[in-house]
Structure formats: structure tokens, C-alpha cells
Amino acid sequence: MGGVVIIGAGECGARAAFALREKGYDGSITLIGAEPHLPYERPPLSKDGLKEQVEPKYVACAERYGASGIEVLTDSPVKAIDRVAKRVELIDGGSISYDRLLLTTGARARTIPGTVDGSRRIRTLRTHVDAAEIRRELVPGRRLAIIGGGFIGLELAATARGLGTDVVLIEGLPRILSRGVPAEIATVVAERHRTEGVDVRCDTKIDRIDADENGVQILLANGQSVDADFLVVGIGAAPNTELAEAAGLRVNNGIAVDATLRTSDPDIFAAGDCCSYPLCHYGDRRVRLEAWRNAQDQGALVASNLLGANETITSVPWFWSDQYDLTLQIAGLADGATVAVRRDLADGAFILFHLDDTGRLLAASGIGKGNVVARDIRLAEMLIAAGKRPDPRALVSPETKLKALLAA
């Protein structure tokens, strides 16, 4: 008997392994990772973890894996999946049999062709090793260039400014945070970065990037150039689907799974950043989410389904980002919304509620200092899950308790 084999030793894979034990599974569990570290959390890499530059924030210590009977293979890239023999083949020549296989292979940073390989001056930020190399450059007097105005680029910019590094951030689109974040909130974030000294340049196209031992020069389409000591490319992530594709599994913006996280092979499941799945709250629209909460939720769910539970995904997408003393939180997906109403809170914080033309709440986006928006975003998440159609006037009024709308 092969037991359960998990390819991908990140947040999702580790959570699934422990959840299997918590649910009473007593067979063998093997967790295989390509990195030299035990599973660790990635969000701190662009935030406090980058400032402190300590050991990764591990999901669990080595002793806990041992006590739970979970075998962890680090620094062990997988070569192929043999679905007929139900065997995982490793690069080093070894192989591991499975009864059920879980793919939590995650995603990798997108690169600009011809710029990252071969130059220590140009980096991406995805792993602890990446973070360690970038951290060495984040000192006063150095100049960092960032390409990409998404969460990773902006969080890195905030961290770098806190360490005294000069920052110029280049975004090709008309504004930052164009993917899933309302313009009203993106404006607040951009203004805060500029106040902190970040040179934010939107709607800026790049013609060429040159790098040598002395630094990086970014030649812009408008004829200007940006000189920096080093460059970080933060233009999103691509799902790691190569193993799945080579094994003949269906792929559609990630490893395609059904609502139970089962792939086109009944004995193989996928979860986390690497997979796309139908989301019931949005008409079974297929989505792929790169989010810490999603990795945790799907890790627990897929453990149940590996044991035959056949439970479906019901969680609402949730994202967050910390930049300076601001926290941005989003619940749901605003695509398809026709109305947005605003609730103002204390100290300049606010939440935007996004509704469709039937009045159903699709998403809520909030920003403020600390955790001021957290409670209302959590309640909005519950309203979305329940398919509620709250009165927009009630959403606008800070006096109206969202919990009351949930009970209505």
C-alpha cells in the first residue's frame, strides 16, 4: 500500500498532511518538497520576515512532523508521475508509490524573458532564498527598482522604505493594484507610497533592461531611464503545472479540479495556488487563487476528500496586504458588480461594498490603519456566502450593524 503522497511542501501541502492525521488517517504520509527548507509561510517574505531576515516562519517544526508520522523529503524535486503504476519518480532516481496523490505544487514568479537569469542584480521574490538575497541589498543609500504594482511589489516597496532604501516602482498599467482592487482604494495606497518617498510611475512601458556588476538601467519607452543598484521583478505568478501536464491531467489556468479538488484522475487531487476550481458563489466560475487563506482552507478540505468525504468548496475568497500602518482586506470577487457603495469608518478608513444588478453582495473591499476594517470584512464575507441582498443604504450607514443584516 502506498498511502498518501503530497508533492509540494508549502503551506497547503503541510496543512493537508496534518489534517489527514487529525481526521484519523493512520496510513503513510509522504510530503515531498523541492526547496531545502521545511514548509514555511510565504506572506512574511515581503513584509516583516524580510525586515528581520531570520529563519523562515515554518508551518511546523521537524519534531511535530516526526511525532505525527509524516515523512518530509526536502530538496527532492519530482521528475514524473506514473499514473498507471501509481508511482512518483524523483530526480535523484528514487520512487514512491501512492494510493492517493495530492498536488500542491504552488506557483512560481513570472519573469521578464532575458532579464533574470545570469544577473545577480535582477531578482524575483518567491522563496526564502530570494528574500535573503534581496534583504542584503536593502540598506540606506541603495536604490531599488521594482517592476510591478501588485501586492508583492508594493509590500516590498514599503519594507524597503522602512529600511531606508530608495525605491522607484514601475507599473505598465494606468494604476497600481489593477487586479481585483477598486481604484478608490488603489489611489489611497499609491498616495501613501508617494508620501513615504516611493517614486511610483504608472502607465510606464519598458523598452529594455541592461544590467552589469555595477547596477541596472531600465530604458523606458518614453525615452527616459531609471538607474538602480538592483531590480526586483514582481509581475505575478504562474502555476506549476508541468508535472500534471506531463502526466496527462487536465489543465485550465492551473491544474483543473472539480468542486471537491479532484483532478481528471480520480486518485489525484490538487489544491492551493497550483489549481483552478469552480466557485459556487459566482456561478461556478473557474478561478485560481494565490492566497494564504485559500491554501489553508483547501488543505483542510482536500484532506477530508482524500479520505472519501466528497465535500465541496464553499469558502469565499479573501485577501489582505499590510503596507506601512495600512491594512487592505478584500472578501469576494467584484467582477460583475454594477453598484459600489461606501461605508466610512474612523480615522479615514472605509469599506466599499460591491453588488450586482439583482442587489446581491459580491465583494467588500476595505482599507484602514491596523485591523479597523477586519470585523466588517469578516461579516461581509459571511453575507456573501449566504447570498444576501442587503439594502445599500444600510451598508452605507456605520450605525447599521452588519451582523444584523446577516440575521435578516
**Strand pairing category for 100-103 and 268-270:** parallel
Number of H helices, E strands in the chain: 11, 26
Does 187 score more than 60 pLDDT?
A: yes
* Third-level CATH fold of 4-108+238-306: FAD/NAD(P)-binding domain (3.50.50)
Does 1 score more than 80 pLDDT?
A: no
Distance CA 73, CA 245 (A): 23
Cell numbers linked to 257: 479540479
**195 burial via Cβ count (<10 Å: 0-12, 13-18, 19+):** exposed
273 Cα distance to chain centroid? 7
pLDDT greater at residue 301 or residue 180: 301
| Domain residue limits, the chain | 4-108+238-306, 111-233, 325-407
| pTM of the predicted model over 0.85 | yes
Please report which confidence band the pLDDT of residue 117 belongs to, taking 50, 70 and 90 as the band edges: low
Distance CA 271, CA 65 (A): 20
Q: pLDDT at position 408, please?
A: 80
Considering the chain, what percentage of its residues have pLDDT values greater than 70?
Answer: 98
Q: What is the mean pLDDT of residues 296-325?
A: 96
Does 82 score more than 70 pLDDT?
A: yes
Does 38 score more than 70 pLDDT?
A: yes
Task: Find out whether 324 and 196 touch, Cβ atoms under 8 Å.
Answer: yes
Q: What is the mean pLDDT of residues 82-102?
A: 97
Lowest-pLDDT range of 46-60, 283-297, 360-374: 46-60
Please report which confidence band the pLDDT of residue 118 belongs to, taking 50, 70 and 90 as the band edges: low
Q: pLDDT at position 53, please?
A: 63
Q: Which residue has the cell 538601467?
A: 217
**CA separation (Å) from 142 to 84, 123, 165?**
54, 15, 5
Q: At a CB cut-off of 8 Å and minimum separation 6, what does 218 contact? A: 145, 147, 170, 206, 208, 209, 225, 226, 227, 228, 231
What's the chain's average pLDDT?
Answer: 94
> What CATH number labels 325-407?
3.30.390.30
Does 52 score more than 80 pLDDT?
A: no
Fold agreement (4-108+238-306, 111-233):
yes
Q: pLDDT at position 2, please?
A: 74
Please report which confidence band the pLDDT of residue 54 belongs to, taking 50, 70 and 90 as the band edges: low
Q: pLDDT at position 90, please?
A: 98
Per-residue pLDDT of 141-170, as tens digits, reads 999 999 999 999 999 999 999 999 999 999
Q: pLDDT at position 51, please?
A: 75
Question: Across the strands, what pairs with 166?
Answer: 143
Angle between helices 151-162 and 183-195 (to 10 degrees): 20
Q: pLDDT at position 148, please?
A: 97
Distance CA 327, CA 90 (A): 42
288 Cα distance to chain centroid? 10
Distance CA 206, CA 224 (A): 10
Q: pLDDT at position 334, please?
A: 92
Q: What is the mean pLDDT of residues 302-313?
A: 97
Top CATH class of 111-233 equals alpha beta
User: In terms of C-beta distances under 8 Å and separation of at least 24 residues, what long-range contacts does 111-118 make, across chains too?
Assistant: 111/233, 111/235, 112/147, 112/206, 112/209, 112/233, 112/235, 115/209, 115/211, 115/231, 115/233, 116/233
